[in-house]
Structure formats: C-alpha cells, structure tokens
Amino acid sequence: MRFTIKAKLAVGFGLVVVLAVGAAAIGLRSLSQSNDMIRDMVENDMVKVQTVGQADAASEAAGRHLLNLILATDSTERNGYWAAVEEQMGILSASLTKLRGNATAQEQALIEGIERNLAEYARGAEKARQAAQRDAEARAFAMTQQNGANRAFQIIVDEVRPVRTALNEQLRQLIALEEANLAAKVAANDRALSTAWSVMLAFMAATALIGLAVALWVSLGIARGLNQAAGLAQRVAEGDLTARAEYRNADEIGELMGHLNTMVLRLRDVVGEVLSASSNVAAGSQQLSASAQQLSNGATEQASAAEEASSSMEEMSANIRQSAENAAETEKIAARSADDAEQSGKAVTEAVNAMKSIADKITIVQEIARQTDLLALNAAIEAARAGEHGKGFAVVASEVRKLAERSQAAAAEIITLTGDSVTVSEQAGQMLSKLVPDIRRTAQLVEEISAASREQTIGAEQINTAIQQLDQVTQQNASAGEQMSATSEELAAQAEQLQAAIAFFRTEEDKAWSAPALPRGEPQARPVASSRPGRAARPSKGVKSLEPAFLGIPPARKNGSAQGFALVMEDGRDDEDARFERY
C-alpha cells in the first residue's frame, strides 16, 4: 500500500482530532462535575443557610413582637402582637422542619437542641403573654403603672431571655456549620477544576506538537515534488522536450511526475510527427498547386470543347429538324405511293383480264389456222391426185399451208407469251397488293420517325442547354482551380511557417540547440524570439522569407497562434520568387 499524501494527512489530522476530542471530553466532564457541585451548593447548602437565616430572623422578630406585646396598652394590640409572635414561631418551626429533611448528624443534634429551646421559649412566651394580660388588667383597675405592673417584663427577663439567648446561640452555630460546609464544597470544586485544567493543557500541547510535525512532513514532501514539477514545466516551456523529472515517491506527486514525463514523451512524439507532417504538407501543397494549375488549364480546354460541342449540337439540332421535315414529306409521298400502288394493282388486274381475253381470241385464230392447214393439206392431196393438172394448185396449197402453219406458230407463240404475261402480271398484281400494306406501314414508320425526330429536336436543344451550363460550370472550375493553386501555395508557405514554429521544440539531445540555457527560475524573462537561432539554423528559404512577417506579429497575437498565423504575404520577397508565377 502506498503511503500517499492523503494517507499522511489523514493519519496526522486523525491524531490531532483524536487528541482534541479527548481534551474536549475531559473539559466537558470537568464542567459537568463542577456544575453538579454548584447546583448541589445552590440547591442544598445555600438553601440551608437561607433557611437558617430565616429561622434566625424569625427568632429575632418573635422576641421583638413579644416585647411589643408587653409594652402594648390595650388587648387588641396585644392580640395582634401575639399573632405575630405565633406566626414567627411557626416560621421558625417550619424552617427547622425543612432543615431536618436532609440534615447531617451534626446538624440534627443542633436542630433538636433548637427545637427543645423553641418549645421552652413558646411556653415562656405564653406565660409572658398571660402576665402581660394580667398586668394590663391590674393597670386598668389600679389606674397606675407602678404597682405590679411589671410581671410580664420580669418573666421575660428571667425566663424567656435565657432560652432565647440559647436558641440564638444554637442558630448561630448552625449558620456557622452551614457556611463551613459551603466553603469546603467550594474548595473541592476549585481543586477539581485545576486538575481538569492541567489535563487539558497537556492534551492541547500534544495536539499542537503532533499537528506541527505532520504539517511539516507533508508540506516538505509536496514542496519538493512541486519544485521538480515546476522545473520540468519550465524546461518544457523553454522548448526542451528532452527533460525528465526524477521523483520516485509513490504518492500523488510521484504519479503527477509520471504523467508529466509521459506528457513530455508524447509531446516529443507529437512534435516530431508535426514536423514531418508539416514538411509533407508543404511538399503536398506544392504538388497540389501544380495539379490545380493543370486542373485549371484542363478546365479551360474543357470549356472550349464544351463550346464546340454546343455549336455541333446546334448544327445537329438543325439537321434533326430537317430530317423531321423530310420524314413528314416522305410520309406524304409514301401515302400517295400506297394509293398509286393500289390503283396499279387494279390496272394490272384489268390487264390480266384483257390478256386472258386476247388469249381466248388467239385460240380462235389458232383454230382457224389449223383448219386452214388441214384444208391446205387436203388441197395438196387433191392436187397430187389431180396429177399434172394440179401442179399449180399444189403450189398454192403448199403456200397456203405454210401461211397457215406460220399463223399457227405465231398464234401459239402469242398464246405462250400471253400466258407468260398473265403469269407475270398476276405476280405483279400480287406483289403490288403486297406492296400496298408495306407502303402504308412505311408511311406509319416514317410518321413515327418524324415524331421521333421532333422529340430528338427537343432533346438536342436540352442537350445544348446542358452543354452551355456545363461550359459555365467548367469556366467556374477553371477559376476555382486557379484559386486553389494560389491557396495551396499559401498553404505551402504556412506549412513551412509551421515547421519553423515547431522547431522551437528540442526533441533530441544531439540536435543543434544553439540557444543558451537560461537559468531556471526566470522562465518569463525568456523571449519567444530567443529561439530564432534554432530556426535560423534550418536551411528553409520559406522561413527565411517569412521571418519578418513572423516577427512582425505583436506578442499579443502570438498567444492566439493556436488559431492560426497572421500571414503577411506581401513582404519577404527574395530571389526565389522569380521562379514562381504569381497568381
């Protein structure tokens, strides 16, 4: 188990608290005891003293009233004083009874003596009253005071006063006794109080000592750890990421040290990664710039190509419109052709019929020729039979027969031709009748082509619009590419600046670190610009060119550098600028 600060504080303060509570408990107990004593004194001893005082006062009052009774002249007055005497004696008796309630043996003896004297005093007082009564009656009878008028007084002097003196003496003793008791109790109380004081003082001293020791122990440990942490933080603030804290205690400070070391390690990794990433970003943004320039050029070419395409599309649209008109014309022609073909079919049918009738007629001619032939043959036979006389006739018959045969052959040829013609014409008719629906179908198709061409015209116009929009977009792209090129160049500059800024951190011991190590304890005195030698050591043109701008930033702005640098692109020209095109 680790002995952490929490545990140390808990143990120390626990000890202190326990001691304080013990002291408080002792004080409380003493207070309570003292309170009990005082209450006892007030409730018992003071009451006893008071009661004894009352008894003493009552005794004195009874004596005074008895004297007044004797001195009184009329009976009414005497009765009044007697009542007062009896009252005071009752008070006295009651006081004694009250005292007897919790009396000590010594007091009891005194009280019993007082009661005996009181009873004797009562009897004497009664006797004195009766004597006074008689004295008064005698004075009334004798009308003089000199004779026998002082018996009551005598009784008092002789009998009552000694009793009363003893009574008073006993009362005095009782008062002294009670006061002595009270004084003893006060002294005891004082002793107890002083003892409690001593104990409490001892506890408080122990508490103070322990608390002081624990506070010193804990605070010294914390201060040592915090000093180391502060030293580490200061070195990190100076940019030294190679620093490490050596603190091995297994408490919270040790944990903090471990975390701080881990943090510095991570920071070192991060800074290294940022360095490489920023160089990558710089290179990448240069490439990006070139690519953006290419993109821009390409977009410009694309825009011109889109314009060409647009004009081509317009030509195509005109062609399509022309095609649509041609198709409509063709449609009309096809419809007309269909009608013509139909009529041609009818004509062919008529021609076929005509040729058939021709064939019939020719058959008659053929028959006539045949008959003629036969006749000529018979004539030839007759001529032959006629012998020498029929010679001429035979010649004629022969000629006639030749003519007939020629007629026959011609007729046969005509019949053949007619038959062929009929066949051909019928085929032509069939073909024509087949042609008609084809032509009608052609007309329909051409109509559809016409409609399609109209739709194509609309589509071509839409395409043209789209191409024009494309052209606009491409031109926008071209300008955007140029802007991107400029932006990426800025990005490259910023990446180099980032490299310069991050070079403030030293991540390796062997790395060039020309900045003199400032004495610890005054980190605020270290200016940010003191890391310039480290940055200047890096052979970076961009950084060199940006140096004035970077240094021109007021310190107040540097705190906000986490949100970005304020770049002053106009400044920091150098010879290398001539190699780059400015956008």
Contacting positions for other proteins (CB under 8 A): 370-371, 374, 377-378, 380-385, 387-388, 391, 394, 398, 401
User: To 10 degrees, the CA torsion angle through 281, 284, 285, 288?
Assistant: -150
Joined together, the tokens standing for residue 166 give 């003893």
- 301 contact partners, CB below 8 Å, separation of at least 6: none
Phi, psi (rounded to 5 degrees) for 110: -65, -40
Give the shortest CB-431-to-other proteins separation in angstroms: 34
State the Cα–Cα distance between residues 524 and 537, nearest whole angstrom: 24
Amino acid at 291: S
Q: Which is nearer to other proteins, 378 or 469 (by Cβ)?
A: 378
Residues 292 and 482 sit within 8 Å (Cβ to Cβ): yes
The encoded tokens of residue 5 equal: 């600060």
Q: State the residue for tokens 């005054």.
A: 522
The one-letter amino acid at 67: L
Residue 465: both structure tokens together? 């619009």
Q: How far apart are CA 286 and CA 491, in angstroms?
A: 8
For other proteins, the closer of residues 30 and 408 by Cβ is 408
In Å, what is the CA distance from 405 to each residue of 204, 398, 402?
176, 10, 5
Cα 581 to Cα 185, 333, 496, 501: the distances in Å are 113, 67, 19, 27
Using an 8 Å Cβ cutoff, are 492 and 545 in contact?
no
